[in-house]
Copies of this chain bind each other. A is one copy, B any other.
Amino acid sequence: MALKTLGAKAAAALDKELMSTGAFSIDQLMELAGLSVSQAVFRVHPINKGRRVLVAVGPGNNGGDGLVAARHLRHYGYHPTIYYPKRSKNELYQRLAKQLEDLDVPFVDDFPQALSSTDHVIDAIFGFSFSGEVREPFPAVINALAETKVPVTSVDAPSSWNIEEGPPKTGVGSNFHPNFLVSLTAPKPLVKHFKGRHFIGGRFVTPAIAAKYDFDVPEYEGLDQVVEVGPSGQKL
């Protein structure tokens, strides 16, 4: 039995529905998405393996999830650093960045330098709405993530991958294979090309929504906001 997935258009429609008839605000959804990511990182990278976590933040919602995850990780005792080269004027992202500044989380401009002195990386550059070309300054960032020995956790999608087709055949991202992936609400079709440890997060989906969009709500345990799944979606 293959894992049920949610294509790019369906994921966009689901997001829109959650925030209209579903009555969620983006603040709420992003808080819960970022919380899920922080819990996955806590699980795959226990704090005794090194506290330094570099978060590569893109200009959109995927980046916002990364900013929220960084705040929770700071509260767990990690030492996040933020690379956020294309700051959005969006008021929510500005607030999420301010919350990190108030926790003395550093924002840095030199990605190679930051990558050489971290224990883990969160790739929160692009999510399910990505398509087309990787724009500056992110090609070099993704090339560095493809080559680094530091473990990488991608949020919702390995950045640069086509949401339906997976890694590009050539060029930026063609050799990018992150160690960990946190799919938000449901895996995207690209997951069939992903060989690392796979988590699903976003414990707010109703059974009715999952049925409408034809995916499965995974069996979360206890208070967990993420669940690790195998290649066919079975709980591990």
Which chain A residues have a beta carbon within 8 Å of chain B's beta carbons?
22-25, 27-28, 31-32, 35, 38-39, 42, 71-72, 75-76, 92, 94-96, 98-99, 102-103, 203-204, 206, 208-209, 220, 222-223
Q: Separation in Å of the A212 CB from the closest CB of chain B? A: 11
Q: CB-CB < 8 A to A95: which residues of B?
A: 23-25
Say whether chain A's binding surface is mostly helix, strand, loop, or mixed: helix
Q: State in angstroms the CA–CA spacing of A103 and B203 once bound together.
A: 12
- A103 is contacted by which of B25, B96, B102, B206 (Cβ under 8 Å)? B206
Copies in the complex: 2
A22 in contact with B102 (CB, 8 Å): yes
Q: State in angstroms the CA–CA spacing of A91 and B75 once bound together.
A: 30
B42 in contact with A76 (CB, 8 Å): no
Give the interface centre of A31, A32, A76, A98 by most chain B CB atoms within 10 Å: A31
- A75 is contacted by which of B35, B209, B220 (Cβ under 8 Å)? B220
Q: CB-CB < 8 A to A223: which residues of B?
A: 38-39, 42, 76, 223
